[in-house]
Amino acid sequence: MELTTLILKLFITIAVLVGSSEFTLTQQYVNIIILVGFVIALILHGQQTEATYRLDFVWKQQATEEKEDMEHLEAYNRKLLANILPVHVAEHFLNSPKNNDELYHEQCDFVCIMFASIPNFSEFYVELEGNNEGVECLRLLNEIIADFDELLSEEQFKYIEKIKSTGATYMAASGYRHVTAMADYALRLKELLEEVNEHSFNHFRIRIGINVGPVVAGVIGARKPQYDIWGNAVNVASRMDSTGICDKIQITSEVNQILQAKGYPTTCRGAIEVKGKGSMETFFLEGPSKSPTRPNITVNPLANSDSKISQFEKPMTTVLGTISEKN
């Protein structure tokens, strides 16, 4: 618009000069002036057009980059949330407008719960100047927990969900149809800790407890959501750990029935006193299944088809929560 106005003013000025009685230049000079003015106007128009195209290109580039940055940020946020909550729970909060005060919970009819602890890690942990005030001890614990997590990425353990690691205690859960996978996972944890001891010249010992039963899964909190499972079955699984024996996998009679039917060797420990439950008969899982083949079940691992829970069918995700006290 400014360029058009400039050209109009230029030609109007020339026309006024030509029509003026005081204008003494010949027609030849007038033509030259008009030609020069036209060329100047053409150059200015070309420069303005080029500048407009350049700005348009820059703006498009900036818009594209900003869009890509937003997509990357959204993907990062989704991935971060998936590391805090199970995938299906994260999708629930991302895709549905929910009030912060609304409680998210699901009833799970039958779940296998495992607690695995390293009871003598507290003896290993000391804060000295030589180990950076205990940081090196925590670094080794982090490596152990990370190795436990890495096992869950294997195909045979993809239906096991890590619930939380608190200190030197590791909590995981699976569906009813994957109790055997949990048993195999517990056995692998023992082997893995032996490898850690061999390479780190330590003598860590693991103690594992497994139970099955109904639980309630839910998310507590809005700004810092925590996913966890609650129920009597969780408490008993915790007691199977706390009342267990180092380097042993203690299981309840319900778990024993399932594993024995699948060919797993177990031995009866006998009756023990369990806080809140009284006398309970427990068993030790002694090794992997001796059955030549076991069915590879990939349907919903939770108890029945009416359950809406699906997180235990998905690959491992790191989730947060609070676990019941052991004593």
The three-state secondary structure class of 316 is coil
Catalytic residue among 158, 275, 314, 326: 275
C-alpha–C-alpha distance, residues 166 and 228, integer Å = 13
Choice among 162, 164, 205, 239 that is catalytic: 239
The number of angstroms, rounded, from the C-alpha of 280 to the middle of its chain's C-alpha atoms is: 37
What gap in Å lies between CA 273 and CA 232, rounded to an integer? Answer: 16
* Rounded (10°) angle between helices 179-200 and 135-151: 140
Rounded Cα gap, residues 125 and 201, in angstroms: 15
Backbone CA torsion sign across 302, 307, 313, 314: negative
56 membership: H or E segment, kind and range: helix 27-84
Angle, CA of 261, 266 and 267, to the nearest 5°: 135
Q: Cα angle at 223 between 220 and 225, to 5 degrees?
A: 30
Query: Would residue 275 show up in a list of annotated catalytic residues for this protein?
Result: yes
Question: Is 223 a residue of the active site?
Answer: no
- The set of catalytic residues is 239, 275
